[in-house]
Structure 1
Amino acid sequence: MKTLYVRIILTFMLVALVSGIIAFLFSNLYYHAKLKEYNEEKIKEIANEIVYLYENSNGMDIHEFLTSVANMNFQLYLVDQNMVGQQFGDPFRQYELDESIIQSVLDGHTYHGISKFKSNLFVTGFFKDDLKNSIGVPVKVDGVNEALFVRPNVEKQFGEMRIIFSLILGLTFFISMVLIVVFATFLVRPIKRLTKATRKIASGNYEFTLDSHRSDEIGALAKDFERMAKSLKKLDEMRQEFVSNVSHEIQSPLTSIKGFTKAIRSKMVSEEEADHYLAIIEKETSRLSSLSKQLLMLSSLDKEVKAVNKSSFRLDEQIREVVLLTEWEWSKKSIKIELDLPELVIKADKQLLFQVWMNLLTNSIKFTEEDGSIYINATVDEDIIVTVRDTGIGISEEELSQIFDRFYMGDKSRNRTKSGSGLGLSVVKKIVDLHEGSISVTSEIGSGTEFSVRLPR
């Protein structure tokens, strides 16, 4: 398979070749359309001037005269009344000419051969030195008309110019080839670096440098590639951290369940202690169940296994239902819940939106201290806007841009004392996106956090 470097050079050569052919064809067409008649008129004037000079030369020998004219870079052909021709100067390439044309010139008419001469597109008529491509005029020799055919000797008149133009074209093509080889190296070099960087990323190495300071498309590609690499590195780190966190989240309740189960089976604990241990086992089981549900839901949404099944329902009633289901959690911390929910009917996936409000509310309860407050209200403009605001510990400005990233756990010291997997807000964001809505967050450390969900009506 040809490399990009070779492809660039071959493409340039093809472009140069095609451009040269097209330029030649258009130049030839321009000659036939614009310059041929002008060229013929100019040569006809020269031929008439030759005849005039001879006929006023006081009996100069015609052969001597025409030889002198031919030495001034002209091709001449003289035909007498017996159709016998004589060449002066360099010979014509072809002498084929109908006798009727020669006879017409002998009868005193002018032969316009240049305008009538036809050549194919790949041969420029200007340089075709055929007898047909000439001007024929009558000339009186010893009182008798003879036919004189005239055309300039282009090879001698413009031979040096043709060499110069050929050198210019040849050197232009050669120098262009050298320059394209050099410049192609600079064009391909950043792409090679991108290829090497891709291989490094594939092997798990995110440390590399690219020329991202260029202001062209390559520079833009390098910048985007670096951003992608940073995102992949960050995602990889978050995945590793997630595995560690989830392993801890799973191992910790399993250890508790195992220990308390052994204690109960040993019959060495009182009935009151056994009930207490069973309550702990139930709580830890709920934690494991919640974690598995979040993982399965996120995986389902990512693979689009779960379709958005829209139906009309009362949104305000759904949010109140979520508040009632979490009553034990917020009442245990003496958290005050304030609702401002007008009657709202929305067409959406009821099960998925239920998960949105459940995740947002449990998140607020989790990070709101005792005797705090949570405010839930809904408004309507072009869309339906649901706001969940709490007076909790807040989120730092650095974390706000990452809280919707899956596996993100935020402040590690905080999360050691708060259960969670870092998936709840990722699930919320994914569900809102599937409904073609948006979610935003504002927060201040120590003052609380506010989530605003905007959904199409």
Structure 2
Amino acid sequence: MKTLYVRIVLTFALIALISGVIAFLFSNLYYQIKLKDYNEEKILEVAQEISFLYEHSDDNMPVDEYLNRIANMNFQLYLVNQDMEGFRFGDEFRSYALDGAIIQSVLNGETYHGISEFQSSLFVTGFFKDDIKNSIGIPIKVDGEIQALFVRPNVEKQFGEMRIVFSILLGLTFLISLALIAIFAGFLVRPIKKLTKATKRIAGGHYDIQLDRNRRDEIGDLARDFERMAISLKKLDDMRQEFVSNVSHEIQSPLTSIRGFTKAIRTKSVSAEQADQYLEIIEKESGRLSSLSKQLLMLSSLDKEAKVLHKESFRLDEQIREIVLLTEWEWNTKNLKLELDLPEIVVKADRQLLQQVWTNLLINSIKFTAEAGTIFISAAIDDQILVTFRDTGTGIPEEELPYIFDRFYMADKSRNRAQAGSGLGLSVVKKIIDLHEGEIEVTSKLEEGTEFIIRLPWRE
């Protein structure tokens, strides 16, 4: 399996190779369109100058000697007489295959434009191909006879060293590019390797990871998001462990009481009056266990968010009054006064879940309001439906308000505020309100009371 590092290096190398090929093709195209004719014009001028100087020379130098001197200046020459006999001067051409009609046309005084007409698979390579077809043919008068002179520069001698230089330049450029790509790809992959190691640490349950958060690029953003994810996972893992611990504690405490009192009753080591008290405690502890299991089952169902809200239209004010009547025994026992301000309001929501919300809030208010205290319940419609539960109870410390909706969180333990509770009631309330796309706010002052405000979307 190829690593990301190898993939990046190969990708950049392939890009460099493709870029080189494309650049080479464009340079060939530029030579074919712009430079080829210009190159031919220059060679034609040189060939015409060679012919002119010989024909107008006063020293009657033999043509062989003259053309050899020209060839020594890095030219390849080929002279054909009227008998179609050819003589080369300078280095040999790679091929002397040339149509006789072309030679004859030059002998008749015409010019052969071989460079512009020469075809090659790669345009610019035609400039270097020393083929007789890739030359300029002009007529030249030798001893009163018109002969055909074919001329082309000896590119190998004129530019041979430069070809080597350019080859070395291109080769080194490609190799150095590969080396630099390999080095810089390592810098690119390094933070990803760190993320991989961090992922393995998180998978092993270790959330204390250190990443480069100071980068101002996508990898820096990824590192910051990854650290936030690690913090969230740690918090979630801590909550899970705390949840298991709290559930175990909440179940173990009543079970221990039930087992102890049951054993005392069975051994008949207590009086009938004490046995009756113990049975009453067992009944209460059983009720706590039952309530705890119901709350846990409801939270589990709500957490899956697969709970389908069975929305229906119903009278919200009537539902809250029904909850007040159902809990009448609890608040009458403490001589509490309930003040209701509930105008007729129709809401479209899940009737059963909202009933659980009002029940939990009212039971909390009853539990934490001293004897002869007052509980206020009101409802109103603005842009939303506002339901308020306010009591004159013991209140909640301000520093604990952000945590009261956490599962098993029991505020004000020193005042035994959560006595007989499971710490799940407000978590259930918050979850149900969230499912209804609503909001819940709480304000509280110690020894003055607590107020919960619930906002629900209002739909006709």
For this structure pair, what is the TM-score category when the shorter chain's length is used for normalisation? Answer: 0.7 to 0.9
Cα distance in 2 for partners of 1:410, 1:86 equals 113
In the TM superposition, 1:24-103 aligns within 5 A as: 24-58=24-58, 59-103=60-104
Deviations 1:36-88 (A, max 9, x none): 23333333333333333333223443333333333333333222223322223
Paired residue secondary structure (2:115): helix
**Cα deviation, residue 235, structure 1:** 1.9
Letter in 1 for 2:35: L
Cα distance in 1 for partners of 2:221, 2:452 equals 36
User: Structure 1 vs Structure 2: percent identity of aligned residues?
Assistant: 64
Change (3 A) 1:26 1:264: same
Cα distance in 1 for partners of 2:87, 2:367 equals 115
2:300 matched residue in structure 1: 299
**Cα deviation, residue 231, structure 1:** 1.7
Cα distance in 1 for partners of 2:318, 2:422 equals 28
Cα distance in 2 for partners of 1:145, 1:92 equals 22
- Note if contact 2:32-2:123 (Cα within 8 Å) is conserved in structure 1: no
Matched, 1:238 2:239: yes
1:154 matched residue in structure 2: 155
Cα distance in 2 for partners of 1:403, 1:130 equals 94
Residues 123-132 or 385-394, more deviating: 385-394
Change (3 A) 1:398 1:51: farther
TM-score (normalizing by structure 1): 0.83
TM-score (normalizing by structure 2): 0.83
- Note if contact 1:361-1:388 (Cα within 8 Å) is conserved in structure 2: no
Letter in 2 for 1:377: A
In the TM superposition, 1:55-454 aligns within 5 A as: 55-58=55-58, 59-121=60-122, 124-262=125-263, 268-270=270-272, 274=276, 277-329=278-330, 334=336, 336=338, 338-340=340-342, 342-346=344-348, 348-362=349-363, 371=373, 373-381=375-383, 384-388=384-388, 390=390, 393-394=395-396, 396=398, 400=402, 407=407, 409=409, 411=411, 413=413, 417-418=417-418, 419-435=420-436, 437-439=437-439, 441=441, 443=443, 446=446, 448=450, 450-454=452-456
Deviations 1:169-210 (A, max 9, x none): 222222223323322333333222222222222222222322
Deviations 1:322-359 (A, max 9, x none): 4544555555563645445552332x444344444445
Change (3 A) 1:302 1:164: farther
**Cα deviation, residue 420, structure 1:** 4.7
Cα distance in 1 for partners of 2:298, 2:235 equals 23
**Cα deviation, residue 250, structure 1:** 0.9
Change (3 A) 1:94 1:389: farther
Cα distance in 1 for partners of 2:397, 2:53 equals 106
Letter in 2 for 1:455: P
Cα distance in 1 for partners of 2:123, 2:414 equals 83
Change (3 A) 1:448 1:3: same
**Greater radius of gyration (CA):** 2
Gaps of 5+ in 2: none
- Note if contact 1:112-1:134 (Cα within 8 Å) is conserved in structure 2: yes
Aligned pair count? 450
**Cα deviation, residue 21, structure 1:** 1.9
Cα distance in 2 for partners of 1:153, 1:404 equals 92
Tell me how large the CA RMSD over aligned residues is: 3.5
- Note if contact 1:396-1:445 (Cα within 8 Å) is conserved in structure 2: yes
